[in-house]
A and B are shown apart, each in its own frame.
Chain A
Amino acid sequence: MTQPLVAIRSVSKNFGEFQALDRVSLDVWTGEVLCLIGASGSGKTTLLRCINQLTPVDSGGIWLDGELLGVREEGGQLHRLTERQIARQRLKTGMVFQRFNLFPHKTALENITEGPVQVQGRKPEEARAEAMELLARVGLAAKANAYPSQLSGGQQQRVAIARALAMKPMLMLFDEPTSALDPELVGEVLTVMKELARSGMTMMVVTHELGFAREVADTVVYMDHGAIVESGPAAEVLGRPREVRTQSFLSAVI
């Protein structure tokens, strides 16, 4: 492999006094499944949001597929990209939110076709056919015409995954995709994510599901106070953590 799909270099982000990210550097390689774990407020979600630019970074840089995100380097200075350019860069990533954020006034099918038709200018029939395939893939072909309010949380999250996949992203970002779900609905969402991981999709997953991380992740990154404390193969970080802070976090959550 020549270069990582995502290269994060010394990224910092402050919200007022609060330092959400403190010079974070990380590589994510094509096909890799990376799980970010850590206490709430440790910066996992912020890092994910920086990658698809819902949150702009304060300093440092993120390269996706070799392209610097959000800014352009010229004459030793950085210049902000236009909103249009940022929107184009975002198309390379798919985002799945903790609270699903499906469009409530559109059916499951319309939620999925909205991006391809409106943003990518694809033909509606074509987009619908692909959306139906995606719905079948997440096990919801029968719910194509249901509105989000008629679906359970687990079903909504699976539609949200299909919506993100419809844009054909190179990287899928999952922000605590199962934390808002009732316990009995977590499994169906994780199953879809496991299938996606097996298909070779590059994934970054912020999660509290250590079982999922152990089973699916190639790499596990433990964050605390906006910094990466420990990262490595899942079995090592979760099984034989080297850092004291990782050990105490893991013993507290298990």
Chain B
Amino acid sequence: MRAVPTLAGGFPDISEMTVARQVHWQRWLAAAAILVVLAAIGRAFVNGQIEWTYVSRFLTAKVILEGITNTMVMAVLAMALGIVLGVVVAIMRLSSNPVLTSVAAGYTWLFRGTPLILQLLLWFNLALVFPTIGIPGLWSVRAVDVMTPFLSALLGLGINQGAYTSEVMRAGMLSVDVGQYEAAQAIGMGRLRALRRIILPQAMRVVIPPLGNEFIGMVKATSLASVIQYPELLHNAENIYYANSRVIELLIVAGSWYLLVVSILTPLQMLLERRFARGALQITR
């Protein structure tokens, strides 16, 4: 005989019934409203004073392609500089040495506290402050020769990025359980080796989504370097419309390229996330 619990009556058996399909009429209504608005905007652009032939003609113009290349080169290099600085500053910030922590905090304060465009202009005009750069008596160069638009943009964007990245990195390192650091110490690791082998690889998992965000921001922030004559995408687009006055058409060209690049970056970030999720997603996979 099977021992089953005794049940009270009055509860019908509904185990064979199915759940009826719901009609979401609000969704249909909302979708229709949005389509009407989109159609109106689209119509406005078609009828507006935009010469679409110019857009398609300049989309693959040599100057524009050079511009997007320069934009990407600068974004990648400045981000690399920003990440290196960010890691170093985050480690300094978390050290027990009060000199290192205050230097790190001061760096973040200074470069996060002033506008990026101002920093770019300062680097580019460094020659006004220091006509020559070098080691007194040994070697020196004229600052105007060194501070090219390229180097000014790289330093301005990279050092500014480092200030933001250091906080992202710090958050990532703080997210790793303190027991991981103790376990690393227990097998004889010093602080730096524990950081490199144990803490940072785990922090990367947490840090990649915000870093992806930062990189997308960087791609667009390179456009600020147009004010210091770095020939990136926006700068080159501007040069064309100064000549032919097709302002909106060229801005649409530049905007399309930024949008395309950002669209490609999103799946790349997912690949990177999967790489660093080693060991973490095994159960859910």
Q: Cβ of A118: which chain B residues have Cβ within 8 Å of it? A: 189, 193, 197
Binding site for A on B (CB under 8 A): 177, 179-180, 182-191, 193, 197-198, 201-202, 205, 276, 278-280, 282-283
Contact B188 A91 (CB under 8 A): yes
B179's partner among A52, A97, A120, A148 (CB-CB below 8 A) is: A97
Q: Cβ of A115: which chain B residues have Cβ within 8 Å of it? A: 187-189
CB distance from A212 to the nearest CB of B (A): 22
Q: How many residues of A are counted as interface, with CB atoms below 8 angstroms from the partner's CB atoms?
A: 32
Q: Cβ of B193: which chain A residues have Cβ within 8 Å of it? A: 118-119
Decide yes or no: A52 and B186 within 8 Å by CB, A118-B193, A149-B282, A149-B283 being known contacts: yes
* Interface CB pairs A-B, < 8 A, 24: A54-B182, A54-B185, A54-B186, A84-B190, A87-B185, A87-B189, A87-B190, A90-B185, A91-B188, A97-B183, A99-B179, A101-B177, A101-B179, A101-B183, A103-B198, A104-B279, A105-B202, A105-B205, A106-B279, A118-B189, A147-B278, A163-B187, A164-B187, A167-B187
CB distance from A160 to the nearest CB of B (A): 8
Q: Is the CB of A191 closer than 8 A to any CB of chain B?
A: no
Q: Name which residue of chain B comes closest to A90, CB basis.
A: B188
A36-83: which residues lie under 8 A (CB-CB) from chain B? 52, 54, 83
In the bound complex, CA of A97 to CA of B179 (Å): 8
CB distance from A128 to the nearest CB of B (A): 16
Count: A-B pairs, CB below 8 Å = 77
Contact A120 B188 (CB under 8 A): yes
In the bound complex, CA of A90 to CA of B182 (Å): 11
Contact A149 B187 (CB under 8 A): no
Decide yes or no: A90 and B186 within 8 Å by CB, A104-B202, A106-B279 being known contacts: yes
Q: Given contacts A83-B190, A91-B188, A101-B180, list 8 more A-B pairs with CB under 8 A.
A: A87-B185, A87-B188, A95-B186, A105-B279, A115-B189, A118-B197, A119-B193, A149-B282
Contact A119 B279 (CB under 8 A): no
CB distance from B135 to the nearest CB of A (A): 33
In the bound complex, CA of A84 to CA of B188 (Å): 9
